[in-house]
Amino acid sequence: MLSHDIPLPPPYRIRVVEPIPFLSPRERREAIAAAGYNPFNLRADQITVDLLSDSGTGATSSAQEAAAAVGDESYAGARSWFRFRDEAADLTGYPHLLPVHQGRAGERVLFSSLLRPGQICVSNTHFDTTHANVELAGAEPRDLPCPEAADLDSAEPFKGNIDLAALEQTLAGPDGPRVGLVLLTITNNGLGAQPVSMANLTAVQAICRRFGVPFFLDAARFAENAWLVREREDGYQELTPREIATRAFQLADGCVISLKKDGLTAIGGLIGLRDDDLFARCEANLIATEGFSTYGGLSGRDLERLAQGLREVVDPAYLAARAGQTARFARMINDAGVDTIQPAGIHALYLNAGRLLPHLSPAEFPGHSLGCQLYLDGGIRSAELGSLYLGTLDAGNRLVSPAPFELVRLAIPRRVYTEEHFLYAAAVLGAIAKDPERIRGYRIVSAPPVLRHFKVRLAPLE
Ligand SMILES: Cc1ncc(COP(=O)(O)O)c(C=O)c1O
């Protein structure tokens, strides 16, 4: 802050820009119909403001591109690997680090080396690919979000926490011996981008030690979690975001990270480990499936961008500007008459579509309807996080049990959009909120058995 509480602008200026398309309403109608009404099937050049994901969609800096220009592409032992490894080791404190091309590759390598069929992985909330990779390892993903998470409107600061009492009960109960891993997602992407407190992480460490269960972090947004800890949790105001992130990593036995988020790059991931035997198993798996352990499917140029990105992402000025941008976007949307999960996190806002469209039942997929309308009216792409994503279907693809909430996620790419893009998106939403009854529901035409939302096809209801 400057004097008089004037917020500082982002600590960068923009010198390379990319044009974005503006399609006509008719072109958008045709595009979404041809995509089977699934925004994942749209072409990126049919989208005006793309809020589908914050993953790999950020802008790199001039320093990252300068570093990439001197990337070392040696097959083994490249200089770029050591630069990246040293940065990641300094940040996380883990003695063993393995590079992977993205988060889910790290999940596959870790889970297939750590979990045995029939075991349980307990989490605050598994992200979709994490859930799928636990199941592919033959294990059962089990979510134990804290009770505060169920109230979308409350201002509780750490609704990303795991339910400590439920975790202890699970470990002490009949299923306890089957728990092979406790995995905390920071921040909780499946549940409103809500952060996990250091107190919760510390308590989970103590419980896991008592029961002898490995405790890992899914740390895709480690810097954003650290920023929210600094803002919201007593005792952390004097620490830098980097110091807070390091303390979080120190509490866990290891981590898996998609660096497409807080690595500030288009691609990349990391596994961090303390255990020597687990490292040996993961390394063997990595070499067979991802690449040698000094590149893991990444180019030297990627590793250079990542090493620099890990420095830039914990800059307090960057994090303050990004958190401020999301908070302002949330206020614009709320003022336009649409509720979002409170309090706003950083990487995304979650629209309460169930509340906005009460005339649609969960079986008519209100979150999906709102997402399609955002595209039809404004060329805005979003992601449904409701019954289409989480509900249970019967053999005829009809909804049997709905998701707890009908949400739409607006993910915010890092360093990409300006205030005007957010004003535009909020205005499109505001127009929808003025006449929500005109929005129709959808039915599923075809759906794949796993990770349905990526490839499902739908049709509007008459
Ligand atoms: C919390 C979390 N874990 C894991 C992943 C998977 O990472 P990736 O997309 O790099 O495979 C994501 C991606 O969005 C995520 O948000």
DSSP output for 290-339: T--TTTTT--HHHHHHHHHHHHHTT-HHHHHHHHHHHHHHHHHHHHTT--
What is the rounded CA–CA span in Å between residue 285 and residue 292? 10
| The pLDDT of residue 7 | 80
Pocket probe mutation, ligand 1, options 51, 55, 385, max atoms within 8 Å of Cβ: 55
What is the rounded CA–CA span in Å between residue 419 and residue 193? 21
Q: Which helix (H) or strand (E) covers residue 187, if one does? A: none
Q: Which helix (H) or strand (E) covers residue 390, if one does? A: helix 387-390
Q: Which helix (H) or strand (E) covers residue 55, if one does? A: none
| The pLDDT of residue 348 | 98
Structure tokens at 340: 């979002």
457 beta partners? 446
Query: Is the distance from CB of 22 to CB of 226 less than 8 angstroms?
Result: no
pTM: predicted TM-score of the whole model, two decimal places:
0.97
| The pLDDT of residue 329 | 98
Q: Which of 43, 48, 42 is nearest to 20 (CA)?
A: 48
Which burial class, exposed, middle or buried, applies to 227 when counting CB atoms under 10 A from its CB (0-12, 13-18, 19+)? Answer: buried
Q: Which atom of ligand 1 is nearest to the CA of 105?
A: 11
> Is residue 269 within 6 Å of ligand 1 at its C-beta?
yes
Pocket probe mutation, ligand 1, options 134, 261, 270, 306, max atoms within 8 Å of Cβ: 261
Which burial class, exposed, middle or buried, applies to 369 when counting CB atoms under 10 A from its CB (0-12, 13-18, 19+)? Answer: buried
Q: Which residue has the tokens 């952060």?
A: 195
> Is residue 111 within 6 Å of ligand 1 at its C-beta?
no
Q: Which of 99, 85, 89 is nearest to 250 (CA)?
A: 89
Domain ranges of the chain: 3-54+315-460, 62-312
Sheet holding 383-385, edge to edge: 348-352, 407-411, 383-385
Residue 405: phi, psi to the nearest 5? -140, 155
Q: Ligand 1 mean position to 129 CA, how many Å?
A: 7
Nearest CA to ligand 1 atom 16: 189
What is the rounded CA–CA span in Å between residue 321 and residue 66? 24
| The pLDDT of residue 462 | 85
What is the rounded CA–CA span in Å between residue 104 and residue 291? 15
Structure tokens at 213: 């269960």
What is the rounded CA–CA span in Å between residue 75 and residue 69? 17
> Is residue 220 within 6 Å of ligand 1 at its C-beta?
yes
In CATH terms, 62-312 corresponds, of 3.40.1640.10, 3.40.630.30, 3.50.50.60, 3.40.640.10, to: 3.40.640.10
| The pLDDT of residue 159 | 98
Q: Taking the domain 3-54+315-460, which CATH number applies?
A: 3.90.1150.10
Same fold, 3-54+315-460 and 62-312: no
Q: What are the residues whose beta carbons fall under 8 Å from the beta carbon of 385, sequence distance 6 or more?
A: 190, 350, 367, 403, 405, 407, 408, 409
Q: Ligand 1 mean position to 439 CA, how many Å?
A: 31
> Is residue 190 within 6 Å of ligand 1 at its C-beta?
no
What is the rounded CA–CA span in Å between residue 159 and residue 191? 8
Which residues are part of the catalytic machinery? Answer: 75, 127-128, 218, 220, 261, 453
| The pLDDT of residue 8 | 87
Nearest CA to ligand 1 atom 6: 103
What is the rounded CA–CA span in Å between residue 398 and residue 385? 17
| The pLDDT of residue 450 | 81
Nearest CA to ligand 1 atom 4: 103
| The pLDDT of residue 2 | 55
Nearest CA to ligand 1 atom 14: 55
> Is residue 130 within 6 Å of ligand 1 at its C-beta?
yes
Question: DSSP 3-state assignment of 143?
Answer: strand
> Is residue 129 within 6 Å of ligand 1 at its C-beta?
yes
Structure tokens at 278: 């687990």
Structure tokens at 13: 């200026």
Q: Which atom of ligand 1 is nearest to the CA of 54?
A: 14
> Is residue 127 within 6 Å of ligand 1 at its C-beta?
yes
The residue type at 259:
L
| The pLDDT of residue 3 | 60
Q: Which atom of ligand 1 is nearest to the CA of 268?
A: 10
Which burial class, exposed, middle or buried, applies to 431 when counting CB atoms under 10 A from its CB (0-12, 13-18, 19+)? Answer: middle
Q: Which atom of ligand 1 is nearest to the CA of 221?
A: 1
Nearest CA to ligand 1 atom 8: 103
pLDDT along the chain (462 residues), means of 10: 74 96 98 97 97 98 98 98 98 98 98 98 95 96 97 98 98 98 96 96 98 98 98 98 98 98 98 98 98 98 98 98 97 98 98 98 98 98 96 93 96 97 98 97 92 92 90
What is the rounded CA–CA span in Å between residue 68 and residue 308? 9
Q: Ligand 1 mean position to 462 CA, how many Å?
A: 36
Q: Ligand 1 mean position to 432 CA, how many Å?
A: 30
Q: Ligand 1 mean position to 156 CA, how many Å?
A: 25
> Is residue 258 within 6 Å of ligand 1 at its C-beta?
yes
Query: Is the distance from CB of 207 to CB of 152 less than 8 angstroms?
Result: no
> Is residue 128 within 6 Å of ligand 1 at its C-beta?
no
Q: Which helix (H) or strand (E) covers residue 450, if one does? A: none
